[in-house]
Chain A
């Protein structure tokens, strides 16, 4: 099997499990929406504060969902000794990485789509120029899914992984939060020219971490 066939096999497996377990739909999406509500409680909804900070709130919520998604993605491999089976399977580390990262990216994109509706409805945000917003979101999501999968496997066999992953992952994805938030702000303000450089940064981050993940996932899976 080629790299991409193997990756598709793994991604298909993860997405099918997710579709069955319905954790995203029944837990992670409601979690995201309640976070939006809580933001509105914490910040005064009447004075236009919410519109101004909506991009930041959106991406902070995505980061929180990323932590849950990473934890889910590797909890699945922890049951019934599935991680050992995966190591014995004969699949290449790079393709397992690509598969798991793409599945996570797809899950995050679904989450983000629903959360966008939430932001538009609850915070009264108008998305003026869509192209940089959509491209930026996709790049950011790929970058987040790649780094998340990388740190997920790094912490997979560790007892304290639930606390270790945030400590390791969040500083690394700080540039994604910056880039994604700025590109959203510019898109909402209707100044796509300001957004594109940030989109480019997000693209570079995504390519870089997909590359690192493909190299490092295999060795890390062995040590998990």
Chain B
């Protein structure tokens, strides 16, 4: 048998959920993401005025806030897809792939959010890190989903991995409000001198708001684009594994001369 299994995946098994969106749609989203990101750079760096108190450091907010929004969006998508995977009627590896891809993006953007927050905090607050409730919650969130990604990398068959990870993702998701609640409570009960002043957020100039909204739009488009790309990569990975498996089955069936066999002809 020549090239066992290579033709099997493509036509014998018309799998569902090969892609999330048509390649054309992805290209359009990609172009839109590029355009809005360019707009963000222009509006954020030149059009919007420097902040009265924070100066140019405030411009970091135009990335920091969208990154935070995206982190929560991504983890929300992970939670919903994990639930859809566990629900027997909607069980499909499509949801597992979406959950995994989204969690990866979520972790990347949470890291970006924390990093930018820290860079911003140094000139504005005077410290790299403050024990502010939102910060602490975000940091715990980051580690919760970092663990989830570690679990995803554990070798296992697709169904085993999908079920295990979906449960872990939901536990993490349920834990987030408890973490948030307890941390907020902790920080408000123990009023230490906090450098965080919520009024800084309140005064937002018109073009500053515009820059923020462009940022949110640009990052959301970028998210959709990357999610689809990551999903596609996952499908290709699975296809390759499937093809290797078909080959392995064929090899096993043909087998070399079996060792120690009882009365089998070759």
The answer to whether B174 touches A168 (Cβ under 8 A) is no
Chain A CB within 8 A of B146 CB:
yes
Interface residue A201 (Cβ < 8 Å from any Cβ of B): yes
Q: Is B168's CB under 8 angstroms from A174's CB?
A: no
* A168 CB contacts on chain B under 8 angstroms: 147-148, 150-151, 168
Q: Are A178 and B147 in contact (CB under 8 A)?
A: no
In the bound complex, do residue B182 and residue A172 qualify as a contact, i.e. CB atoms below 8 Å apart?
A: no
Q: What residue in chain B is nearest A208 (Cβ atoms)?
A: B174
CB distance from A136 to the nearest CB of B (A): 13
> Known contacts A168-B150, A175-B179, A208-B174; is A219 also within 8 Å of B144 by CB?
no
CB of B202 closer than 8 Å to a CB of A: no
Q: How far is the CA of A223 from the CA of B156 in the complex (A)?
A: 9
Instruction: Report the minimum CB–CB distance from A39 to chain B (whole Å).
Output: 21
Given the known A-B contacts A158-B154, A164-B150, A167-B146, are A172 and B171 also in contact in the complex, defined by CB atoms under 8 Å?
A: yes
Question: How close is B133's CB to chain A, nearest CB, in angstroms?
Answer: 11
With CB as the reference atom, state the residue of chain B lying closest to A217: B167
Please name 15 pairs of A and B residues whose Cβ atoms are closer than 8 Å in the assembled complex, sorted by A: A150-B171, A154-B164, A158-B154, A164-B150, A168-B151, A171-B179, A174-B140, A174-B179, A175-B175, A175-B182, A175-B183, A204-B178, A205-B178, A212-B171, A212-B174
Q: Report the interface size class on chain B.
A: 20 to 34
How many angstroms from the CA of A172 to the CA of B177 in the assembled complex?
A: 11
Is A167 within 8 A of B163, CB to CB? no
A contact patch SS: helix
Interface string of B142-185 (1 = CB under 8 A from A): 01101110110010100010011001100110110011011101
In the bound complex, what is the Cα–Cα distance between A208 and B175 (angstroms)?
10
How big is chain A's contact interface, by range? 20 to 34
CB of B237 to closest CB in A, whole Å: 20
Interface centre among B144, B151, B154, B182, by most chain A C-beta atoms within 10 angstroms, is B182
- The answer to whether B140 and A182 have CB atoms under 8 Å apart is no
Contact with B along A168-188 (1 / 0, CB 8 A): 101110110011001000000
B128 at the interface (CB under 8 A from A): no
Task: Please judge, given known A-B contacts A167-B146, A167-B147, A171-B147, whether A154 and B183 are in contact too, CB under 8 Å.
Answer: no
CB atoms of B182 and A178 under 8 A apart = yes
Contacts of B146 in A (CB 8 A): 167
Q: A160: CB under 8 A from chain B?
A: yes
Query: B156 — which chain A residues lie within 8 A by C-beta?
Result: 223
Say if the beta carbon of A216 comes within 8 Å of chain B: yes
Contact A178 B174 (CB under 8 A): no
Chain A residues with CB below 8 A from B163, complex form: 219-220, 223
Closest Cβ of chain B: how far from A156's Cβ, in Å? 10
Q: Which 10 residue pairs of A and B lie closest in terms of their CB atoms, listed nearest first?
A: A175-B182, A168-B147, A171-B143, A167-B147, A223-B160, A171-B144, A178-B182, A175-B178, A172-B175, A216-B167
Docked Cα-Cα span, A205 to B174, in Å, equals 10
What 0/1 pattern do residues 135 to 151 of A give for CB contact below 8 A with B?
A: 00000000000000010
CA distance A174 to B179 in the complex (A): 7
Contacting pair A220 B186 (CB below 8 A): no
Besides A154-B167, A219-B163, A220-B164, 13 more A-B contacts (Cβ < 8 Å) are A167-B146, A168-B148, A171-B143, A171-B144, A172-B175, A174-B179, A175-B179, A201-B185, A208-B178, A212-B171, A216-B171, A220-B167, A223-B156
Residue from B154, B172, B178, B185 in contact with A164 in the complex, judged by beta carbons closer than 8 Å: B154
Report chain A residues within 8 Å CB of B174: 208, 212
Min CB distance, B189 to chain A, in Å?
Answer: 8
Inter-subunit contact B160/A172 (CB<8 Å): no
A170 to B144, CA, bound (A): 9
Most chain B CB inside 10 Å of its own CB: which residue of A158, A170, A178: A178
Residues of A contacting B175 with CB < 8 Å? Answer: 171-172, 175
> CA separation between A150 and B148, bound complex, in Å?
14
A47 to B186, CA, bound (A): 25
Contact in complex: B151, A201 (CB < 8 Å):
no
Report the nearest A residue to B86, measured CB to CB. Answer: A219
Q: In the complex, which residues of chain B have a beta carbon less than 8 angstroms from the beta carbon of A175?
A: 175, 178-179, 181-183
